Amino acid sequence: PQARSHIIEFVELLEGRILHVGTKTICVEIVGDKDKITTALQLFKPYGIKEVMRTGTVAISKD
């Protein structure tokens, strides 16, 4: 429970989003430059990271 509240605080600090909260996992989205992502990974490391996806730059055209 305390770890969960710390993770939620980090997500808020990084202006991220919590996508899903399970009984043993939390899925979050952090968007930013390389330094921000590196900081996020360092903050979350003590809590155990199961999977990380990095997409890089994405462009979407408008109609």
Note the pLDDT tens digit of each residue in 3-59: 999 999 999 999 999 999 988 889 999 999 989 999 999 999 999 988 888 877 777
Question: What are the chain's domains?
Answer: 2-47 (3.30.70.1150)
| Cα atoms in the Cβ-side hemisphere of radius 13 Å centred on 51 | 6
pTM metric for this prediction: 0.76
Better-scored residue on pLDDT, 37 or 63: 37
User: What's the pLDDT score for residue 52?
Assistant: 86
User: What's the pLDDT score for residue 63?
Assistant: 65
User: What's the pLDDT score for residue 57?
Assistant: 75
Residue 43 CA to residue 63 CA, distance in Å, equals 39
